[in-house]
Amino acid sequence: MAARKPEEVDRLFERAMNAADSDALLALYEPQASLMPSPGTVVVGTPAIREALAAFIAGKPKIALAPRLVSETGDLALVTAKWELEIDGPDGKRAKMNGSSIEVLRRRSDGSWRFAIDMPFGVEAGAS
């Protein structure tokens, strides 16, 4: 399923992550998109994003997202989302996290929206 509004990308991300559906997750990203999988770390492109998302899926995540469209102009949109995540840590213990993301989305020629830049940890996390 494709997002027809920018804020729908987060709803589809939530559904795909909770279903551990890596193909559906990857379909939400442009081929040269960037993703911040952890504070201070940025990966670019489908192979790197696939690897980063696989690490999350391995932790059996449950995520809840509350997206909010900030601004849209032409084929670009800025979306933020508050999120809560439960995931198994490396020690096997269930961990809870929350934060606010910043996302830049681009509308494709078919009218669907995809992540161009996905920063789940927001600007406070910093990128190296």
Domain boundaries, the chain: 8-125
What is residue 69's predicted lDDT score, i.e. its pLDDT?
84
| Buried residues in 36-53 as b, exposed as e (16+ CB within 10 A) | bbeeeebbeeeeebeebb
CA 62 – CA 20 distance, rounded (Å): 9
pLDDT, tens only, 27-36:
999 999 999 9
CATH node for 8-125:
3.10.450.50
Cβ distance 100 to 77 under 8 Å? no
Quickly state the pLDDT bin for 86 (edges 50, 70, 90).
very high
Q: Tokens 């279903």 — which residue? A: 19
For the cut 80, the answer to whether the pLDDT of residue 127 exceeds it is no
CA 24 – CA 85 distance, rounded (Å): 19
pLDDT, tens only, 34-65:
999 988 899 999 999 999 999 889 999 999 99
Question: In the predicted model, what is the mean pLDDT of the chain?
Answer: 93
CA 36 – CA 100 distance, rounded (Å): 13
| Residue 79 β-bridge partners | 69, 103
What is residue 76's predicted lDDT score, i.e. its pLDDT?
97
SS3 17: helix
Q: What is the mean pLDDT of residues 83-107?
A: 93
Cβ distance 81 to 59 under 8 Å? no
What is residue 125's predicted lDDT score, i.e. its pLDDT?
67
